[in-house]
């Protein structure tokens, strides 16, 4: 039997989307994992971080929290991730998880100077993605679902940027050989993305963005989801 993956939940979906399950469920389905292949720990809810032994890899969810808040549970998770990264455990951070991993390893996170990114947007791979275990077979340009206000402003020492978008120079990074972060949401379906745009309608309008135009532009993002599935495959091969 394959070793399970650990999913660290750092938040919950916006209220209107909770009828579709929690982030761990979205991630598990997008990653192609069965219920028996995933262990979920709600770190935001106060569940204790486990011993890292026995897991094929770790996936860290998104959150409505901000890494810059330095919340106790978040800082504890960062310390755990730092130790896990140095121990060579495969790690994959999504949105908040991407930022938390960068922070844990010594990078800088803060408000995105170009403002909010929301909707189905284009991602461009950078030269360092050539030969990368997750991105080497991904098209040089692909669409992904995005919803964030903060970004990785400075990568940790030893990290390389793998992708960017028009609104964020660090859409993905790799640290060492086994740790990745992606600012985009590979676990979001079209339904999830549309739900988030509707839930953020007032904030989007206040920021000068057009929710209806963003809704009309939402589309499938299979290559972004493929990155998450490649992490699962890579981690199992690494464990073998």
Please give the positions annotated as active site.
Answer: 95, 185, 187
Parallel, antiparallel, or unpaired: how do β-strands 159-165 and 168-175 relate? antiparallel
With contact defined as beta carbons under 8 Å apart, do 90 and 56 qualify?
Answer: yes
With contact defined as beta carbons under 8 Å apart, do 96 and 147 qualify?
Answer: no
Residue showing tokens 């409505």: 64
What does the alpha-carbon distance between residue 1 and residue 13 come to, in Å, rounded to a whole number?
Answer: 31
Alpha helices (H) in the chain, listed in sequence order: 23-31, 72-86, 96-104, 190-199, 201-206, 211-216, 222-239
Which residues on neighbouring strands pair with residue 8, listed in sequence order? 41, 60
Encoding tokens for residue 97? 């998880």
Question: How many residues are given for the chain?
Answer: 240
φ/ψ (deg, to 5) at 149: -115, -30
Parallel, antiparallel, or unpaired: how do β-strands 57-60 and 5-9 relate? parallel
Q: How far is CA 23 from CA 88, 140, 168, 198, 223, in A?
A: 25, 28, 23, 18, 19
């Amino acid at each position: 039997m394959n070793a399970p993956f650990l999913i660290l939940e750092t938040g919950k979906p916006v209220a209107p989307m909770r009828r579709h399950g929690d982030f761990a469920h979205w991630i598990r389905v997008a990653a192609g994992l069965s219920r028996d292949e995933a262990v979920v720990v709600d770190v935001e809810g106060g569940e204790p971080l486990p011993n890292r032994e026995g897991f094929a890899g770790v996936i860290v969810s998104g959150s409505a929290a901000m890494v810059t808040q330095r919340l106790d549970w978040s800082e504890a998770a960062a310390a755990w991730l730092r130790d896990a990264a140095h121990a060579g455990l495969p790690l994959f951070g999504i949105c908040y998880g991407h930022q938390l991993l960068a922070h844990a390893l010594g990078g800088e996170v803060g408000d995105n100077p170009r403002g909010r990114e929301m909707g189905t947007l284009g991602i461009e791979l950078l030269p360092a993605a050539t030969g990368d275990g997750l991105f080497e077979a991904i098209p040089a340009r692909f669409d992904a679902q995005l919803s964030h206000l903060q970004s990785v402003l400075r990568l940790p020492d030893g990290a390389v940027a793998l992708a960017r978008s028009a609104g964020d120079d660090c859409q993905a990074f790799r640290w060492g050989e086994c740790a990745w972060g992606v600012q985009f949401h590979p676990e979001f379906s079209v339904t999830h993305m549309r739900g988030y745009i509707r839930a953020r309608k007032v904030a989007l309008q206040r920021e000068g963005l057009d929710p209806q135009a963003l809704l009309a532009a939402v589309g499938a993002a299979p290559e972004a989801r493929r990155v998450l599935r490649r992490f699962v495959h890579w981690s199992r091969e690494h464990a073998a």
